[in-house]
A and B are shown apart, each in its own frame.
Chain A
Amino acid sequence: MKNTPPETTPFFARDRAWHPPAFTPGYKTSVLRSPQRALISLEGTKSEITGPVFGHNILGEFDNDLIVNYAKPGEMALGERILVYGRVLDERGVGIPGALVEFWQANAGGRYRHKKETYLAPLDPNFGGFGRTITDENGGYVFKTIKPGPYPWPNGVNDWRPAHIHFSVFGHGFAQRLITQMYFEGDPMIWICPIVKTIPDENAIKGLIAALDMQNTVPHDMRAYKFDIILRGRRSTFFENRKEGN
């Protein structure tokens, strides 16, 4: 961690037109799970601008290596070996150190290790499908995995998810908490996915597509995909009139 004082200013307002709205009938499950009344606006108090920060002591040695973290000793998960890396930044472009990043995904055949999953593609006995890491002092993170497969899901009669990795990210404030998904450059399935299409702005979708990065690809080993995650920015500490206690 850098030796700088923690920031205590409120976050930028969230651009709700950039995120998917709650009610997106093309994604059927949202219909009954979407609040219909206006949100009540709440400028950041201590309750929103603070948040949990996790130490590296929670991490195991292989938490960021999905190829081996569930595999039997000496074995590996099946599939295209890839390295996913990037930075967790805020909207000012400032790297966020110490951010917990969790990720989960289907296996190379598009199958999740979950009781409710019914897709006929087989489980990989050496693939659990999840991991986590904590960003370094510049906000950087990296993990190894296999490229997940696309899979069909019950929504429309013939809907498929593009290959994707789920991300859960903690910044430094509870108001920065975010869950999103990473897609892969060049995948034609992205643009026909009802969940992707909940996002109204094409540029917002492009912001979730990781680029193939041949510069960071490890020759004869694994290709690299670069995926930066942007969390909400914080207001600068200008002059501010405020009473004691906050």
Chain B
Amino acid sequence: MVQPLTYFKESASQTAGPYVHIGCTPNFSGITGVYAEDLGSGSLVNDNTRGERITIRGFVYDGVGTPLKDALVEIWQADADGFYSSPSETRGKADPNFFGWARQPGDMATGEFAFETIKPGKVPFRDGRLMAPHVNFWIVARGINLGLNTRMYFSDEEEANAADPILSRIEHRVRVPTLIGRREGNTVTFNIYLQGENETIFFDI
């Protein structure tokens, strides 16, 4: 006999289902008067937020190229200096005018999601090397049994991307572009492919 290791198991995930918007973005789904606004639904920036304004737009596609119209997409990102607005951020204080988290349902007619935010700064990897600027994504929907984690990097950061400890370890180089948001002006397009030839890289984080 040995001493028992007393750990619990994480609650098993279940799909967010077709009605996730009732719970997470009720105003969007037409149920008004309970919450003043949908949590995380507005712009991430205000007049005092530091950093370069960008809009991230994209679709979530299924395995035959149909955009999901019932997905919920959340993002989590550092501020312009690379600090997260989180109690676990111990390196410094994040911009008080930037919360760094938001979520959007896809448009009911087209499925497109959009976030008004800023370009994040660089955040160090565990060994101190800097990771290229990136935005963390979490995607749930009907038919997705466990939320999917990915990252969006930026097409205008070629040098930083080449030095990024995560991107540089990916064996199948042909897949790396699935993690790169394409920047044109202040718009960054990031489409997520759940399945198929262009399947997005998802992470076990």
A residues contacting B by CB (< 8 A) are: 6-8, 13-16, 18-22, 24, 27, 29-37, 39-54, 58, 60, 63, 69-70, 89-93, 102-104, 112-117, 128-130, 166, 168, 172-175, 177-181, 195-196, 198-199, 201, 203-205, 207-208, 229-233, 242-246
Contact = CB atoms under 8 A, between A and B. Distances in A.
A57 to B, nearest CB: 11
B203 A245 contact: no
11 contacts: A21-B145, A33-B142, A39-B204, A45-B126, A47-B84, A52-B99, A91-B9, A103-B23, A178-B13, A180-B11, A196-B14
B29 A102 contact: no
A47 B134 contact: yes
Nearest to B146: A19
Contact of A178 (B39, B66, B78, B147): B147
Interface string B150-177: 0100000000000000100010000100
Given A6-B87, A91-B9, A230-B9, A48 B136 contact: yes
B145 A22 contact: yes
Given A32-B63, A42-B204, A130-B34, A230 B8 contact: yes
Interface size class of B (residues with CB under 8 A): 35 or more
Nearest to B63: A32
A243 B165 CA distance: 15
B33 interface: yes
B42 interface: no
A50 B19 CA distance: 28
Given A18-B9, A40-B202, A229-B11, A58 B39 contact: yes
A32 to B, nearest CB: 4
Contacts of A32: 62-64, 66, 143, 194-195
Contact of B35 (A60, A115, A180): A60
Contact of B145 (A30, A49, A89): A30
Given A103-B23, A130-B23, A230 B76 contact: no
A15 B146 CA distance: 12
Contacts of A231: 10-11
Given A27-B15, A32-B62, A243-B127, A166 B20 contact: yes
Looking at B10, B19, B63, B66, the one whose CB has the most chain A CB atoms below 10 A away is: B10
A117 B68 CA distance: 17
Given A104-B19, A130-B22, A52 B85 contact: yes
A22 B147 CA distance: 9
A246 B199 contact: no
B78 A47 contact: yes
Nearest to B170: A40
B34 A128 contact: yes
A69 B147 contact: no
B109 interface: no
Nearest to A174: B76
A198 B11 CA distance: 14
Interface stretch (B51-59, B88-96, B181-189): B88-96
A117 B70 CA distance: 13
Contact of B7 (A22, A46, A92, A114): A92
